[in-house]
A and B are shown apart, each in its own frame.
Chain A
C-alpha cells in the first residue's frame, strides 16, 4: 500500500512570506501529526489532527497552523516566515496510536 506522501519535497521562501505544506496519510489512517526537525532543537511536535479536528498542539507560535480534510489529507501553514522556520517538516500517519509512519518530509529554506 502507498506510504505517507508529503509535497513538495523542497521549498525556498523569503522572510515574511507564507507557505503551505501537504501530507497525504496512508489510506485508512485518520490521524496525522506534524513535526519540525532542526539541528538545534531536534524533532519537535507541532500538532495532531484526527477526523478533521486538532487534537493536540505543541509549543509553537500561532503562525503555525494546520487543518485536515474529510479524506484525512492534512495541510500545515506557516505565515510570516522567519529565518528560524527553516527546517525539515515531517508528517506521520497513524491508525490507532500503536504505529507511526512518516513521510519523506518537506525541506523548507527561508532566505
Chain B
C-alpha cells in the first residue's frame, strides 16, 4: 500500500533561517507527490508538486522541494523563513493501487513555527 510519513510533528525555526520539513513515501511505480499548507480554519493551499522531470521543484511563496528517488524522500525547503510561514504542512502522494486516479494519501502533517 502507498504511504507517506512526516517524521516531525513540529519544526521550529528562527525567522530568516532556512527551513526543511521532511517527507518520505512508499509507492509502487513512479510517485506523484504534493505539498500543501493549511492555515487555521482554512482549506489546503497547494504549494508544489512533483510528477516527472527535474528533481528540484519550485513552488509558491518561495518554497521548493527536492525529490530523491533513492531515499524515497520529498523534503520541503525554503531558504529564508518568514513568521507568516507558520502553519500546518502536509505531504501527499497520489494513490494508484486502489484503482482510483484521484485519491491522495496524506502524511500526518508537520506544524511549522517560525519565531521572530
Chain A residues at the B interface, C-beta cutoff of 8 Å: 4, 6, 31, 33, 35, 42-43, 45, 48, 50, 55-56, 58, 90, 92, 94, 97-105, 107
Contact = CB atoms under 8 A, between A and B. Distances in A.
A8 to B, nearest CB: 14
Interface of B: 32, 34, 36, 41-46, 49, 51, 90, 94-95, 98-109
Contacts, number: 65
A103 B32 CA distance: 21
Contacts of A104: 42-43
Nearest to B32: A98
Contact of B102 (A4, A31, A58): A31
Given A42-B109, A43-B90, A48 B103 contact: yes
A18 to B, nearest CB: 23
A56 B49 contact: no
Given A56-B98, A97-B102, A105 B42 contact: yes
Given A43-B90, A98-B49, A100-B34, A92 B42 contact: no
A42 B94 contact: no
A31 B94 CA distance: 14
Contacts of B51: 98
A42 B107 CA distance: 8
A94 B42 contact: no
Contacts of A4: 43
Given A98-B51, A102-B36, A33 B102 contact: yes
B58 to A, nearest CB: 15
B46 A97 contact: no
Nearest to B109: A42
Given A33-B104, A48-B100, A100-B46, 18 more contacts: A6-B43, A33-B102, A35-B104, A42-B106, A42-B109, A43-B104, A43-B109, A45-B105, A50-B102, A55-B100, A55-B101, A90-B43, A98-B49, A99-B46, A100-B102, A102-B36, A102-B45, A105-B42
